[in-house]
């Protein structure tokens, strides 16, 4: 049970709004896995960490309430989907340890990746026999980005509200990333976008973006053009502008900036 599972970060090469579905925004985005930045998750017997038998226990550097933690949400969603007694027994006797490397509130998908990795761990350890499609469907109850991490693609086009994940074949990339110490609220950024910047792209533009390589997209678009959430994030978080460096791009709703590493 001490096997460690990697929960990789991601960046959004582009992130464009295509419309709205009820209270959600529909997007088209290129997600790329970051191979050298990841959290590590593993199970540990509760007697080793002095945890109570009847409590769900996460050990890690989190500053949210338990019911807000994406791993706990993943547990609840998996339990509702499977009604698995083995799952309840597992979490009665084991704690989940998370060695955090991905910064929080960073637009790098750390919470979603942790949730996806937890679902895959439980599926493997408990022999639940769930397919990746089934796990991705369960993951949508936790968050929009979880499905991408379930599939584990190096690069993918993600659309809808995050539930449509299509592999995109391209050469692997390495990134320079920096994350300012600014805690950005994703709902607040989307609210600002909706109220002041709402300008969804049409299907032709979305299709064109999905067909281009990440290198092509970044060579053609600047940071604001590539990510519809950058301008509203700058509006809501004035300090963000001080951290922006020419040639870098904005991931998700922030606060991380990235560029492709140049080969030496």
140-163 CB burial, b ≥16 within 10 A, e <16: bebbbbbbbbbbebbbbbbbbbbe
Q: What angle do CA 245, 170, 228 make, to 5 degrees?
A: 40
Residue 146 DSSP SS3: helix
Annotated catalytic residue within 73, 145, 212, 228: 145
Annotated catalytic residue within 10, 57, 73, 120: 10
The H or E element that residue 58 is part of is strand 58-59
How far is Cα 97 from Cα 204, in angstroms, rounded to an integer? Answer: 45
101 a catalytic residue: no
10 a catalytic residue: yes
253 close to 232: Cβ distance less than 8 angstroms = no
Q: In sequence order, what are the residues at sequence separation of 6 or more whose Cβ sits closer than 8 angstroms to the Cβ of residue 50? A: none
Q: In sequence order, what are the residues at sequence separation of 6 or more whose Cβ sits closer than 8 angstroms to the Cβ of residue 76? A: none
Find the distance separating the first CA and the last CA of the chain, reported in whole Å: 41
Region for 247 from its dihedrals, namely left if φ exceeds 0, alpha if ψ lies in -120 to 50, beta otherwise: left
Residue 40 DSSP SS3: strand
How far is Cα 231 from Cα 192, in angstroms, rounded to an integer? Answer: 9
Pairing of strands 58-59, 94-99: parallel
20 phi, psi to nearest 5 deg: -130, 150
Residue 93 DSSP SS3: helix
Q: What residues are labeled active site?
A: 10, 145
């Amino acid at each position: 049970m001490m096997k460690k599972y990697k929960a990789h970060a991601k960046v959004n090469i582009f992130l464009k709004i295509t419309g709205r579905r009820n209270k959600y925004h529909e997007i088209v985005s290129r997600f790329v896995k970051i191979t050298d930045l990841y959290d590590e998750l593993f199970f540990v017997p509760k007697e080793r960490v002095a945890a109570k038998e009847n409590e769900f226990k996460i050990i890690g550097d989190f500053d949210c309430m338990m019911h807000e933690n994406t791993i706990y949400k993943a547990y609840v969603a998996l339990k509702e989907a499977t009604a698995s007694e083995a799952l309840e027994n597992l979490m009665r006797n084991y704690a989940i340890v998370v060695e955090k490397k991905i910064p929080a509130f960073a637009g790098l998908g750390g919470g979603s990746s942790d949730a996806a990795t937890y679902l895959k761990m439980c599926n493997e350890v408990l022999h639940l026999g769930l397919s990746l499609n089934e796990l991705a469907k369960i993951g949508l109850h936790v968050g929009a980005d979880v499905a991408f991490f379930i599939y584990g693609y190096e690069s993918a086009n993600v659309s809808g509200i995050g539930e449509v994940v299509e592999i995109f074949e391209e050469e692997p990339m390495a990134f320079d990333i920096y994350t300012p110490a600014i805690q950005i609220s994703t709902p607040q950024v989307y609210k600002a976008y909706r109220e002041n910047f709402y300008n969804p792209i049409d299907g032709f533009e979305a299709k064109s973006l999905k067909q281009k390589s990440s290198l092509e997209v970044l060579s053609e678009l600047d940071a604001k053009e590539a990510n519809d959430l950058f301008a509203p994030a700058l509006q809501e978080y004035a300090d963000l502008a001080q951290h922006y460096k020419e040639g870098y791009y904005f991931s998700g709703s922030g606060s991380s900036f990235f560029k492709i590493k140049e080969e030496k």
